Amino acid sequence: MRSFVYLGPEQIELRQVPVPRPGRGELLVKVKAAVTCGTDLKTFRRGHPKFPPPFAFGHEFGGDVIEAGDGVEAFRPGMRVTANVFAECGQCFFCSRGQGNLCENLIYNFGAFSDYMIVPEPIVRRTTFEISPEISYEEAALVEPLTTVVHGQRRIGIQPGERVAILGAGGPVGLMHQQLALRAGAAQVIAAGHSDMRLEIARQLGATTVINTRSRDFIQAVRDLTDGHGADVVIECAGTKSAWETSIEAVRKGGRVLWFGGLPGGTTVEVNAARVHYGEITLFNLHGGTTLDSKEAFDLITNRVIQVRPLISDRLPLEMLQEAFRLMAAGDAIKIAILPELSAE
């Protein structure tokens, strides 16, 4: 079978490797669609702090069960499935406190940019889901990023009537946050980014105002749109130091900021301590999501409460994965479905 292996910054290789066999509790899945994400792009560019190369690449997928290992009862060959990229152990210090996303023994699931992949036993048991017939493989594959967005929304707790500003809104997680903010009753959603193509999708999905940050100052625009106060909630999805710092200046006194986009290890963020302290600004951040978040995310997709189809900009064969990253980096795509069965000719 073919499988992309990550070797180092901007180094991936499509290799021929044996089709794996599932161990006890595991699933062998034929990948029908694997979807690119911002974490894939960041890893491609600079590596991943938790996973030294080489490793099988990709983690958002939908596919068919080919073989179930001993002990698997919930899934059988022929079933259409997707899964989150990780699952908690359920037993450690953090899991016992309902913080499974911080689990000391998280098991990860990689290898989606391949013809076949193995789903590990803890993920099969906790965060693998059968895809209903009316949902496409690529739509179901978005359960992982939506899991993190659900977790972030749970933390930030948007209330009906609040005004929400999203920085980095044109990316997939920004567009998901936007939809869930509107679902929570936000009266105003200000979507900010630097890609006109992506901002148009934000507009189509219900953003009340879009701001291109290449031509308009984000902080001033948000204040102009909120009677000079700033937004009740600012959600940072750009994953840059400047965006983290800017988000604090765009929120009102007594408001809340969610730092969603991760920064490289060792990054130092400069915060206006007086503004945060005397303005009673609450800062939130997050890592991943829990099993409960994954189940909620999958239900949101299955019941079409949230639209994920508009987030798929293109479909490419497996061999063109590097081209997919180029399109994402240029801002010409949101997410790209990699289809192993699609011919490259």
Of the candidate ranges 21-25, 37-41, 177-181, 250-254, the one whose mean pLDDT is the lowest:
37-41
Confidence tier at 311 by pLDDT (50, 70, 90) = very high
Q: Using a pLDDT cut of 70, give the percent of the chain over it.
A: 100
Strands 188-193 and 61-68: unpaired
Of 113, 135, 131, 139, nearest to 39 by C-alpha is 113
Task: Find out if CATH 3.30.70.141 is the number for domain 2-142+308-339.
Answer: no
Q: Using a pLDDT cut of 90, give the percent of the chain over it.
A: 88
Alpha helix ranges (H) inside 206-311:
218-225, 241-250, 273-278, 291-302
**pLDDT for 25:** 98
How many CB atoms are closer than 10 A to CB 128? 26
Confidence tier at 116 by pLDDT (50, 70, 90) = very high
Judge whether 155 and 286 are in contact, CB under 8 Å: yes
| Residue 291 reports pLDDT greater than 80 | yes
Mean pLDDT, rounded, of the chain: 95
Alpha carbon of residue 21 to chain centroid: 29
| Residue 74 reports pLDDT greater than 70 | yes
Domain positions in the chain are: 2-142+308-339, 149-285
Determine the average pLDDT of the residues in 12-30: 97
Alpha carbon distance 218, 247 (integer Å): 9
Q: What is the pLDDT of residues 321-334, one digit of tens each?
A: 999 999 988 888 99
Confidence tier at 39 by pLDDT (50, 70, 90) = confident
Determine the average pLDDT of the residues in 165-188: 96
- Sheet of 11-16: strand order equals 11-16, 2-8, 55-56
In terms of C-beta distances under 8 Å and separation of at least 24 residues, what long-range contacts does 87-92 make, across chains too? 87/120, 87/122, 87/123, 87/125, 87/126, 87/127, 87/291, 88/122, 88/126, 88/290, 88/291, 89/122, 90/126
Judge whether 334 and 171 are in contact, CB under 8 Å: yes
| Residue 185 reports pLDDT greater than 90 | yes
**pLDDT for 345:** 67
Q: What is the pLDDT of residues 129-145, one digit of tens each?
A: 999 999 999 999 999 99
Alpha-carbon Rg for the chain, nearest whole angstrom, is: 20
Task: Find out if CATH 1.10.1060.10 is the number for domain 149-285.
Answer: no
